[in-house]
Amino acid sequence: MASKQPAATRAKPLAMMTRLSPFVSYYKAPKLTGSPGSGADTSAPKLILFASWMDAQDAHIAKYITYYQTIYPTSTILLVKFPGMLPWSAATQNSAAQPAASYVRSQVDSGALSAAPRAPEVLVHIFSNGGATSMRNIYEIYRRKTGRAFPPHAAVYDSCPGLLSAVRGYHAFTLGLRGPARLFLVPLLALFIAAVSIWYGPLGFLAGEDMFTKNQRIHNDRMLARQTNRSYIYSKEDIMVDWRHIEEHARDAAAKGIPVRREMYQESSHVAHMRTDDRRYWKIVTDTWEESIKRSGTLLPGFT
């Protein structure tokens, strides 16, 4: 049966998705009809949550979304964006993530996702510190609103999570600036990033926990991030997130009993690993999901 959803175009690469807010949208796979036993593929994720990197362009996001539609044609896909304005305000971050948490809750309440699954139904794909922040807020909001942890899931971490770094933060915020805007904004951003580093560094006893440290902590909290397994995809050439921060996070996760797979790319830049070697990249993703199904019999505490 043909889909009635708008087709993606070069001008609107995410036209197939339905907007819930400026930052959150979803794709609902059309129901398959006309053949015996047609319907959802029980081996595919029921929901794929895609937490994009900061200021990701729709055309770049669409490359991942369309490939997911190819390999998991029955899966619902939930997209959460992270615009550059969000790091400045924790309240804005929460507000941006709220529709995503509400959507997942609606899927559980409607029965589209099981309230007590016997096997994982969700695959989470997280990109950079922007995506890690979005997902951390979703974990916290879901717990706060429902009294339960986010549904059990497998996770892929692409180029994250990293810790606070003035130099790498500078690269992250200035990469996309061009022309007169760069001349005007770069000095201001440099001053701001320096001030933030001092505030959360020497003055950390006053500032409290910074966003990046909180991300690392929450993503390894087994009662909030109930993961069957996870994979990290990263590289030493990444100038925005330190590979050593990622490996430190992976070691901490493994020490807490989370099955971890680490995949280091060579000569691959920030969130560019799929472009560097797409066959390897998507094999990591599908292997991660298949491993989660195998591990459903040895689940983390609180899974069911």
Domain boundaries, the chain: 18-162+212-297, 165-209
Mean pLDDT of the 82-95 span: 80
pLDDT of residue 150: 96
- Give the pLDDT band of residue 148 (cuts 50, 70, 90): very high
CA 275 remoteness from chain centre:
18
Mean pLDDT of the 176-200 span: 57
**Contact, 299 vs 152, CB < 8 A?**
yes
Please report, rounded to a whole number, the percentage of residues in the chain having pLDDT higher than 90. 64
Q: Which residue matches tokens 């971890």?
A: 260
- Give the pLDDT band of residue 90 (cuts 50, 70, 90): confident
Among 112-116, 170-174, 202-206, the least confident range: 202-206
pLDDT of residue 11: 74
Domain spanning 18-162+212-297: which CATH class is it, in words? alpha beta
Question: Looking at the predicted structure, is the pLDDT value of residue 89 above 70?
Answer: yes
Within 13 Å and on the Cβ side, how many CA atoms surround 64? 27
Number of Cβ within a 10 Å radius of residue 48: 24
pLDDT of residue 37: 45
Mean pLDDT of the 143-153 span: 95
Question: Looking at the predicted structure, is the pLDDT value of residue 299 above 80?
Answer: no
Residue type, 230: R
pLDDT tens digits, 205-259: 554 578 899 999 999 999 899 999 999 999 999 998 999 999 999 999 999 999 9
More confident residue, 173 or 113: 113
Question: Looking at the predicted structure, is the pLDDT value of residue 170 above 70?
Answer: no
Residue type, 233: I
Give the global pTM: 0.84
pLDDT of residue 117: 87
Closest to 22 (Cα-Cα) out of 95, 124, 87:
95
pLDDT of residue 252: 97
- Give the pLDDT band of residue 171 (cuts 50, 70, 90): low
How would you classify residue 147: left for phi > 0, otherwise alpha for psi between -120 and 50, otherwise beta? left
pLDDT tens digits, 14-58: 999 999 999 999 999 988 665 444 455 668 999 999 999 999 999
